[in-house]
Chains A and B, each alone.
Chain A
Amino acid sequence: MLIIFYIFAALSILGGLGVLFLKNPIHCALSLVGTFFCLGAIYVMLNAEFVAVIQVLVYAGAIMVLFLFVLMLLSSKDTEQYANKWPIGKILAGLLSLGIFVQIASLFTAGKLQLGPKGAYPLEVIEEVGSIALIGRLLFTDYILSFEIIAVLLLVAVIGAVVIAKRRFQ
């Protein structure tokens, strides 16, 4: 179990590094799809099957296809020509992100990680009721207001995308 987790973790970091370093944006998108699949596998190991399915369907399926579609629509050859204009910027970016990583990592490596009080849904309850049934029940009872608001947000995004992309300039 643990060794499979490490394999998928290494693969997902490899995919992330592919996004960072590959020159062709289409290769970046495909390596990001690989990262999403590996994360989906890790979600399955964490007993979050619903999240794993959503991850593969929505992220690896829908969103990345949208990215690839836009990339193939907009073929631009001049993308990375300014990358080396200011090399000290790269050093600064590296230092800054190293600082962010150390800051996040020190939260749970310095001492024992303190988790709060246990919730009402241990693994036995989830396996008895079923994770998807539980999520559905919670979404339509405790989180119904957020659910409605997110539906309106999705509608606004669809209309906004159509309005922005359709506009013509002369």
Chain B
Amino acid sequence: MIPIEHILLLSAALFTIGVLGVMLRRNVIVIFMSIELMLNAVNLSFVTFSRGMDSMTGVIFIFFIIVVAAAEAVVGLSIILSIFRTRKTLNIDEFNILKW
């Protein structure tokens, strides 16, 4: 049996890498990938607690989290696509006006 603290530590490390990616990178799509990484870290801790507490709730929640992540990726990428048509860049510093 894997010690629960080690899995949670892995989850915290992945979450921190995701936070750093959101703050350091300037490419919108890479920022989106970092958000996906954070969602995965949360999923990992959900499974860990679900196994540690003999409950199925965490696994059910992951089902919902993955659906929300897919919806978020689809809508976000279509927004990026539509911004790219007019601004011709993926740099998030250029996305500085709401009206375009």
Binding site for B on A (CB under 8 A): 1-2, 5, 9, 12-13, 16-17, 19-20, 25, 28-29, 32, 35-36, 39, 42-43, 45-48, 50-51, 54-55, 58-59, 62-63, 66-67, 70-71, 73-74, 76, 78-83, 85, 89-90, 93-94, 96-98, 100-101, 104-105, 108-109, 113, 115-123, 126, 131, 134-135, 138-139, 143, 146, 150, 153-154, 156-158, 160-162, 164-165, 167, 169
Contact = CB atoms under 8 A, between A and B. Distances in A.
A44 B60 CA distance: 16
B99 to A, nearest CB: 12
A50 B6 CA distance: 22
Given A20-B17, A59-B36, A67-B32, A122 B54 contact: yes
A9 B2 CA distance: 12
B32 to A, nearest CB: 7
B51 A100 contact: no
Contacts of A76: 84, 88-91
Nearest to B51: A46
Contacts of A62: 70
B36 A32 contact: yes
Interface string B25-41: 11101101110110010
Chain B: interface residue count, which band?
35 or more
Interface string B13-30: 111111111011111011
Contacts of B79: 164
B53 interface: yes
B26 A80 contact: yes
A104 B11 CA distance: 10
22 contacts: A5-B7, A13-B14, A19-B37, A20-B24, A20-B25, A25-B29, A29-B33, A36-B40, A46-B48, A63-B36, A70-B77, A79-B89, A80-B26, A97-B23, A105-B12, A109-B9, A115-B49, A118-B54, A126-B56, A157-B71, A161-B78, A164-B82
A46 B3 CA distance: 11
A16 B14 contact: yes
